[in-house]
């Protein structure tokens, strides 16, 4: 495991509310908006960096490859979870490590462990990779269309889902508007090839207080 690596935190927070009609209600609540110059990978050059992800589209998966520092996207076209590539002459992602849909997350044959660490530094200074009950993906239903919400028509699709990594943001829908709470913890992603990464979600809004814009600190490989 790499020790004493320094990383630089760039943060982007963002808020586009789950319900567009409620835009602005959650301004100033739950996390501080962050700013950034662009989306995608922002590496520090030492195996650490920050990811800025636009996850505002309910019908889109964003696929992240930590090995190559590449990002790809697909569009969900059916309730069975069918996806099509986005962009001319594009194809479905063949190699990826984890993916984001709004606040849903899944891995590519990986497993995730929640740690008690609240900074990447704390993990990078450990003498070994954290051990424990690494959680694999299961099947769930994700929301892909909210346009009919006011009429009670919400469209769902079947998808794989990692409940452990999804703990990085708790969404309490028992109230209106929902309450969002960041765990601030570091999560260890064990990938299918046996390598490990550390991930920490630091914000879910941008500087305009629009939700669905995620800021993720990462370290790879551990």
What is the 3-state composition of the chain as percent helix, strand, coil, each rounded to the nearest 5? 5, 40, 50
Residues 6+ apart with CB under 8 A from 123: 115, 117, 130, 186, 188, 198, 219, 222
Domain membership of residue 19 (yes or no) is no
Neighbours of 147 (CB within 10 A): 11
Identify the bridge partners of residue 140 per DSSP, sorted by sequence position: 159
Residue with token string 């190559």: 68
Nearest to 216, CA basis, from 3, 31, 13, 29: 13
Domain membership of residue 67 (yes or no) is yes
Per-residue pLDDT at 90:
82
Residues 6+ apart with CB under 8 A from 79: 144, 155, 156, 157, 158
Domain membership of residue 47 (yes or no) is no
d(CA 222, CA 218): 10
What is the domain extent for residue 118? 54-195
120: left (phi over 0), alpha (psi -120 to 50) or beta: alpha
Domain membership of residue 31 (yes or no) is no
39: pLDDT strictly greater than 80:
yes
10: pLDDT strictly greater than 50:
no
Domain membership of residue 59 (yes or no) is yes
Please tell me the pTM assigned to this model.
0.83
d(CA 108, CA 219): 18
Q: How many domains does the structure of the chain reveal?
A: 1
29: which 2 tokens? 């609540």
d(CA 136, CA 134): 7
Burial of 32 from C-beta contacts in 10 A (0-12 / 13-18 / 19+): exposed
Average pLDDT of span 84-97: 89
Per-residue pLDDT at 197:
98
Mean pLDDT of the chain: 86
d(CA 43, CA 180): 27
d(CA 182, CA 114): 13
1: which 2 tokens? 């495991």
d(CA 111, CA 190): 5
pLDDT in tens, 110-136: 999 999 999 999 999 999 999 999 999
For the stretch 155-158, contacts whose Cβ atoms lie closer than 8 Å and that sit 24 or more positions apart, written own/partner, are 155/79, 156/79, 157/76, 157/78, 157/79, 157/80, 157/81, 158/79, 158/80, 158/81
Domain membership of residue 219 (yes or no) is no
Average pLDDT of span 201-213: 95
């Amino acid at each position: 495991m790499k020790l004493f690596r320094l990383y630089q935190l760039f943060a982007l927070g963002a808020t586009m509310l789950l319900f567009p009609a409620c835009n602005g209600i959650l301004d100033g609540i739950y996390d501080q908006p962050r700013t950034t110059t662009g989306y995608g990978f922002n590496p520090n050059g030492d195996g650490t960096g920050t990811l800025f992800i636009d996850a505002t589209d309910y019908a889109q998966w964003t696929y992240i490859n930590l090995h190559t520092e590449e990002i790809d996207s697909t569009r969900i076209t059916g309730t069975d979870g069918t996806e099509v590539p986005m962009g001319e002459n594009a194809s479905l992602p063949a190699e990826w490590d984890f993916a984001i849909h709004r606040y849903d997350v899944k891995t590519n044959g990986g497993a995730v462990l929640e740690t008690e660490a609240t900074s990447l530094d704390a993990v990078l200074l450990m003498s070994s990779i954290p051990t424990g009950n690494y959680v694999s993906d299961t099947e769930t239903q994700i929301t892909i269309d909210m346009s009919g919400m006011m009429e009670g028509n919400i469209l769902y699709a079947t998808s794989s889902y990692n409940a452990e990594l999804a703990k990085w943001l708790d969404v309490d829908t028992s109230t209106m508007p929902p309450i969002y709470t960041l765990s601030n913890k570091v999560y260890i992603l064990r990938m299918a090839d046996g390598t490990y990464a550390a991930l920490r979600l630091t914000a879910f809004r941008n500087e305009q207080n629009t939700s669905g814009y995620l800021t993720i600190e990462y370290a790879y490989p551990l």
